[in-house]
């Protein structure tokens, strides 16, 4: 069960966004706040600022931690760091 808030900047047609969401769901995340930067371009500027200038989607935040994109999320999971982060540890 996830206690940390998960926020993902995404677009509607991004395969990496879909893969990242699938992994999060497999790890028990039931609620993902998705911000569609393709529908709300002003939010892309917000994403750039919050992520330290990252332009690609997804950009994933778990709690206050910027995880990065899909590749970083998968690497974090493989290293055993995703579940503790989702648990708020």
Distance, CA of 5 to CA of 71 (rounded, Å): 20
- The stretch 9-18 carries a mean pLDDT of 96
pLDDT of residue 3: 78
pTM over cut 0.75:
yes
Contacts of 60 (CB under 8 A, 6+ apart): 6, 7, 8, 9, 20, 24, 66, 67, 68, 69, 70, 72, 73
Which helix (H) or strand (E) segment holds residue 25: the answer is: helix 15-26
pLDDT of residue 50: 96
Domain ranges of the chain: 6-86
pLDDT of residue 2: 47
Q: What is the pLDDT of residues 41-79, one digit of tens each?
A: 999 999 999 999 999 999 999 999 999 999 999 999 999
pLDDT of residue 67: 98
- The stretch 4-19 carries a mean pLDDT of 96
How far, CA to CA in Å, does 72 sit from each of 27, 40, 41, 42? Answer: 15, 25, 24, 25
Residues of the chain above pLDDT 90, percent:
93
Homologous superfamily assigned to 6-86? Glutaredoxin (3.40.30.10)
């Amino acid at each position: 069960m996830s206690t940390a808030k998960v926020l993902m900047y995404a677009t509607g047609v991004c395969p990496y966004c879909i893969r990242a969401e699938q992994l999060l769901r497999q790890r028990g995340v039931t609620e993902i706040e998705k911000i569609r930067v393709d529908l709300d371009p002003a939010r892309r500027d917000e994403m750039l600022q919050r992520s330290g200038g990252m332009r690609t989607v997804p950009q994933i935040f778990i709690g206050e931690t910027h995880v990065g994109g899909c590749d970083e999320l998968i690497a974090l999971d493989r290293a055993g760091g995703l579940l503790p982060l989702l648990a708020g540890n």
